[in-house]
Structure 1
Amino acid sequence: MHPTNPAHPTPRTVHLAVYDTLADWETGHATAWLARTGYEVRTVGLSTEPVRSMGGLRITPDLALEDLRPEDSALLLLPGADLWDAGDELAAFAGAARAFLDAGVPVAAICGATAGLAREGLLDDRAHTGAAPEYLAATGYRGAAHYADADAVTAGDLITAGPTEPVAFAREVLGRLGAFEGGTLDAWYRLFHHSDPAAYAELNA
């Protein structure tokens, strides 16, 4: 578990997994607002060689996956990518998610990353969501009874969402880490998901 002793505070670093074909838009709200509320966002790749996102962005990882330790992190973010369904290349990231969850450090997975966690067995006994029940069922996992038809789901230290819900995904991440709380978190979600002008006034009051 993360230490609660003030002499050993919870890390303020969030790690974003990056790999070829990652879906740029799925974690943008989460990482931007975590950075704006005092978290450092560091990227982690299979190696430190550059990767290229689905949108064509070239990203050079800050560190390699082999150097990532749960105790140095507040959260592991796993975006979707074509590679999640194209073989086992990203399986090591699902293994890292297991290590994080075993250490009591949160993991947030969206879109194809949920299928990676399903293959790793991490959704067999946890409430979760994803693109569709059929999509996760195709992995052969045993967690169908725990699937929730929701925009995003937080189950203890695990956050999941489908590909069309980057804002709801960010809401759960921001709430889990305490970046926004209560009425502020609600106002943030109403502004970015519902375009509620009253929410803008609340956030800037």
Structure 2
Amino acid sequence: MTRRITQLLIGLFLYGVGCALTVEAGLGVDPWTVFAEGLSVHTGIGIGWVANIIGFLVLLFWIPLRQKPGIGTIANILLVGTSMQFALFVIPPVSGILLQFAVLLAGIAAVAVASSLYIGAQFGPGPRDGLMTGMHKRLGWPVWLCRLLVEATVLLLGWLLGGTVGIGTVLFAVLIGPLVHLALPVFDTRRPSRAGRRVGVSARGTQADPNPA
């Protein structure tokens, strides 16, 4: 349990830092951050704080979808935007196209690792992911279609409000899935450790099952 909680908190903090790096790169950000950035432009509220507010408002849509938040859901709302705001305060301005791309790719990689950490901790989905899975369960639409509709909507709204859409937005969409796919098995707390399997082998005196449940 201690490992899972620690993993959850580190993952959520790192997620906010990764998003902040993509913002500072100035080459385009993921759809939800585009939306937060656009709202920030018009309200004067920091992007991170806006992200927290959006997370809370999205959670309200869980009610008609009959979704139940977990500890991870609430922690996501409270910590991701807060850590993003902190990181935006301490990260120095980025200039020069090579450095911008380096910071962008570092941010995407950080978000991928962070996603794997908090998903692997098994404390419930974030509010945005829960919205999409809730739509899938209630409406019967494929998850990919729910994600496409939701993210296309917030991307368009964010862009109209002045959020940054660019090559970074495209790279995020292309890279985040494969990177999470690679990182998630490392941090999935449901997977038995190699050490645990070796102990099991020694106790039974037989070879371990190559395909454990």
Structure (1 or 2) with the larger CA radius of gyration: 2
TM-score w.r.t. length of structure 2: 0.27
Structure with the higher fraction of residues in helix conformation: 2
What TM-score do you get using the length of structure 1 for normalisation? 0.28
